[in-house]
Amino acid sequence: MPEIHPTSILEGDINLADDVKIGPSCILRGNITLGAGVQLLERVSIKGPARIGAGTIFYPGAIVGYEPQDYKFAPGTPTAGIEIGDNCIIREHATVHAATNTEQPTRLGEGVFLMVNSHVGHDTVVGDRCVIVNNTCLAGHVIVEDRVTFSGGCLVHQHCRIGRLCMLSGGSIISTDLIPYCMTAERNEVVGLNLVGLRRSGMPPSEINILRDTFTHLLRQNLPKPELVEVIAQRMENSEALKHLHKFLVNCDKKALTPIGRNRKKHHI
């Protein structure tokens, strides 16, 4: 039977797994499902529609599922809400806002670590095993692929796409599409491959070498996107990493690509 502290308030169609623990002064309202082993430590607020995966832990002051910060969205407008995957960690005062549409929720994948004061905006989709460090803000409609690491204080503009296994250094500002496997610095600048992340992910050395060669080529030429897509297509036959990069580039149709090494004399590839 779920453990619910007597000071907490639950209103609406709320479904709790048998081993859910809800601590003091939590507020749950609406259509909410909490999976097995979910814990709300204290003073957590969740507004439905919301589906929370098994093993996810919320720390004090976390607020998820409330209305998006969008002038066009009136209070009470129907929404697909939020969906948070299994085994996520939602730390103090982190926020995840509900979707502006009724079909696709704002979503965090499995194993996402959302640290203190971080924010995930409406209609944003975050892939599996991403780390979003303190004070990082993702605006609305952002797409983040798997295993991306955002260092502290990063800012991502609405409608941007962030490729898998990227590493954004502290204070990075992104208003463009960021290709997979790379590291960023400052404002809209790729400074090299995320070699540590690639190795930790288990990517074979042969694949990493292919990426290094490709990135060196890109750094020297900084090709326009149509030519870049063609170059990657010519190289990708024996590389799953390049096939994914090619797919990412083909799907980038709203934003420019983040420049590679625009301001750097030395590139850390």
- Which amino acid is located at 31 in the chain? N
Candidates 264, 101, 97; CA nearest to 182 is: 264
Cα–chain center distance at 235: 29
CB 148 within 8 A of CB 165: yes
Q: What is the mean pLDDT of residues 201-220?
A: 87
Q: Quote the DSSP letter at residue 97.
A: P
Gap between the Cα atoms of 68 and 188, Å rounded: 26
Six token digits for residue 100: 């502006």
Question: What would the DSSP string read from start to end of 131-175?
Answer: EE-TT-EE-TT-EE-TT-EE-TT-EE-TT-EE-TT-EEPTT-EE-
Q: What is the pLDDT of residues 128-176, one digit of tens each?
A: 999 999 999 999 999 999 999 999 999 999 999 999 999 999 999 999 9
Q: Quote the DSSP letter at residue 39.
A: E
- Side by side, the strands of the sheet bearing 161-162 are 14-16, 32-34, 50-52, 82-84, 106-108, 125-126, 143-144, 161-162
Catalytic residues: 122-123, 140
This prediction has a pTM of 0.92
Upper half-sphere CA count for residue 145 (Cβ side, 13 Å):
18
Upper half-sphere CA count for residue 4 (Cβ side, 13 Å):
16
CA angle 45, 48, 49 (to 5 degrees): 150
Q: What is the pLDDT of residues 51-95, one digit of tens each?
A: 999 999 999 999 999 999 999 998 889 999 999 999 999 999 999
Percent of the chain with pLDDT strictly greater than 90: 81
Q: Quote the DSSP letter at residue 11.
A: E
228 versus 45: the higher-pLDDT residue is 45
Gap between the Cα atoms of 190 and 267, Å rounded: 9
Gap between the Cα atoms of 260 and 269, Å rounded: 11
